[in-house]
């Protein structure tokens, strides 16, 4: 198989790959809102990843990937569950009551939940700085949810998007522990395929939904399946193969403003001042978390 790291790319290619990832994942909340006009959340998740699975299958045939070890099947199933099945079903149900812009901010709270997982699940030591970042970030989350539909509009939909972010945190934790077993392309393919397999519980009734959906909705769902669900994962694996994780993660903070811009153009959404304020607080808290990690790495390198 031709590896992502076979040839050292130019900085321009890396920047273009980062910009492509931001654009694809920035489109995702808008695409989901359009898709929900004709599909229920479960059917939308399944159709999106059936398309992604076919696309990834073509890529795998062209590039070639190794078969998984039997002992790794539970791990790959868990990766598919957290990254695809639980994450996207919760996200779709949540976006039934949350704007695309606010949804992109709440979904970006993954590092906050990663810190909580580190302390309460993996029993890692968490510094006072990181606890402060978590408290600040969760305050920002409350402001975003309240500002999206007003204090009276706070309901379970925002919580479902936070569940999606928590699910993504579990995925990152598992991927970090076992990423060395497979290269980036192979791991992405099996994650998408196993996640899609679990989504097949929503297969009944999907064909009738597809037949009845308007053309503009179909195009939006095809876009979801090809770009955020397949090409963006490949581009992200390419970026991580050539760029330090902490540096690459910084680009993800551009996703919420990009998502708000796309939603403003495509859905005529106008985020409130509270949503902007809460978004800034969430992103600052997440940025502060990553800055602390980077300082620790630099200090460790000097010793």
CB 56 within 8 A of CB 188: yes
pLDDT of 43 over the 60 cut: yes
Q: In the numeric block, which tokens belong to residue 162?
A: 């936070």
In a domain, 243, yes or no: yes
Other C-beta atoms closer than 10 Å to the C-beta of 216 total: 11
In a domain, 6, yes or no: no
What whole-number distance in Å separates Cα of residue 303 and Cα of residue 281? 34
Q: What is the pLDDT of residue 297?
A: 39
Q: Is residue 56 part of a domain?
A: yes
Q: How many domains does the chain have?
A: 1
Is residue 88 in a domain?
yes
With the CA atoms of 156, 27, 5 and 65 taken in that order, what torsion angle do they form, in degrees rounded to the nearest 10? 70
Write out pLDDT tens, residues 96-116: 988 888 888 888 777 778 777
Q: CA-based Rg of the chain, rounded to a whole angstrom?
A: 19
Residue 88 has pLDDT above 60, yes or no: yes
Domain interval for residue 239: 11-302
Nearest CA to 277 out of 128, 114, 144 is that of 144
Asked if residue 300 has pLDDT above 70, the reply is no
Summarize pLDDT for 165-182 with one digit per residue, the tens.
899 888 888 877 776 778
Higher pLDDT pick, 60 / 290: 60
DSSP string, the chain: ---TTSSPPPHHHHHHHHHHHHHHHHHHHHHHHHHTTTS-HHHHHHHHHHHHHHHHHHHHHHH--PPPPGGGHHHHHHHHIIIIIHHHHHHHHHTTSS-HHHHHHHHTTHHHHHHHHHHHTS-----HHHHHHHHHHHHHHHHHHHHHH-GGG--HHHHHHHHHHHHHHHHHHHHHHHGGGS-HHHHHHHHHHHHHHHHGGG-TTHHHHHHHS-HHHHHHHHHHHHIIIIIHHHHHHHHHHHS-HHHHHHGGGGHHHHHHHHHHHHT-----HHHHHHHHHHHHHHHHHHHHHHHHHHHHHH-
- Is residue 5 domain-resident? no
Q: Is the pLDDT of residue 302 over 50?
A: no
Is the pLDDT score of 2 beyond 50?
no
**Lowest-pLDDT range of 57-71, 163-177, 289-303:** 289-303
Asked, for residue 4, whether it belongs to a domain, the answer is no
Whether the per-residue pLDDT at 26 is higher than 60: the answer is yes
- With respect to residue 3, please indicate whether it lies within any of the assigned structural domains: no
Q: For 216, left (φ over 0), alpha (ψ -120 to 50), or beta? A: alpha
């Amino acid at each position: 198989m031709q590896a992502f790291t076979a040839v050292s790319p130019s900085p321009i290619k890396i920047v273009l790959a980062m910009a492509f990832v931001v654009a694809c994942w920035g489109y995702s909340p808008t695409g989901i809102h359009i898709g929900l006009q004709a599909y229920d959340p479960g059917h939308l998740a399944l159709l999106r990843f059936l398309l992604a699975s076919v696309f990834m299958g073509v890529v795998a045939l062209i590039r070639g990937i190794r078969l998984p070890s039997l002992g790794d099947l539970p791990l790959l199933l868990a990766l598919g569950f957290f990254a695809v099945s639980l994450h996207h079903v919760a996200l779709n149900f949540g976006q039934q009551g949350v704007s695309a812009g606010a949804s992109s901010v709440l979904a970006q709270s993954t590092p906050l939940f990663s810190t909580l997982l580190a302390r309460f699940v993996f029993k890692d030591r968490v510094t006072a700085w990181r606890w402060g970042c978590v408290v600040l970030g969760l305050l920002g989350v409350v402001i975003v949810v309240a500002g999206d539909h007003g204090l009276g509009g706070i309901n379970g939909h925002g919580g479902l998007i936070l569940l999606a972010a928590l699910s993504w945190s579990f995925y990152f934790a598992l991927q970090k522990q076992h990423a060395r077993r497979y290269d980036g392309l192979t791991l992405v393919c099996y994650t998408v395929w196993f996640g899609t397999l679990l989504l097949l519980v929503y297969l009944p009734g999907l064909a009738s939904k597809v037949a009845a959906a308007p053309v503009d909705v179909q195009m939006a769902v095809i876009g979801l399946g090809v770009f955020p669900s397949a090409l963006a994962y490949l581009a992200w694996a390419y970026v991580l193969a050539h760029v330090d994780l902490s540096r690459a993660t910084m680009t993800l903070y551009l996703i919420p403003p990009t998502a708000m811009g796309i939603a403003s153009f495509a859905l005529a959404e106008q985020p409130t001042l509270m949503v902007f304020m809460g978004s800034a607080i969430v992103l600052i808290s997440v940025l502060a978390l990553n800055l602390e990690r980077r300082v620790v790495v630099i200090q460790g390198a000097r010793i």
